[in-house]
Amino acid sequence: MTRQLGLVSASAVFFSSASAMKAWLDDSTTAPITVMSLDHDLNLGPEPDETGFDVIENIRKLNGRPLIVIHSSNEERAERMYWKLKEDGVRVHRVYPQGDLDWISRDWIDTILGELQGD
């Protein structure tokens, strides 16, 4: 994802848990966010943690509405996240992880660039 973001002027921040992402979003020094890419299953550690769905409340508190790209192979939960954000008036898209990481250089970056160029 970082390599693909080199196509645009962007800085990237990655999180290994929902709680770390929520804390970062709640930090008053967080710069304006243009795009967020969100997975449902965020916990990479040994301890159970919250999910991408739990981050939605923090997204709703942001000043401005970033583009949200949901990229999760957890179909049921990703759809739940998509529709919750859509109901809240958030600009949201869904990409489907497939073919190892090929989807990043194809679907994911195309969705982001298409939206940013449309602004």
* pLDDT given for residue 48 in this prediction: 59
* pLDDT given for residue 6 in this prediction: 52
**Residuewise pLDDT in 10s, the chain (119 residues):** 545 455 555 677 888 788 888 888 888 666 778 888 888 876 655 555 678 888 888 888 887 778 899 988 888 988 999 999 999 888 899 988 877 778 888 788 888 888 888 75
Kindly provide the b/e burial profile for residues 83-97, where b requires at least 16 CB atoms within 10 angstroms of the residue's own CB: ebbeeeebebbbbeb
- Say whether pTM exceeds 0.85: no
Say how far apart CA 12 and CA 1 lie, in whole Å: 9
Say how far apart CA 38 and CA 118 lie, in whole Å: 21
Kindly report the CATH number that applies to the domain delimited by 2-6+17-118: 3.40.50
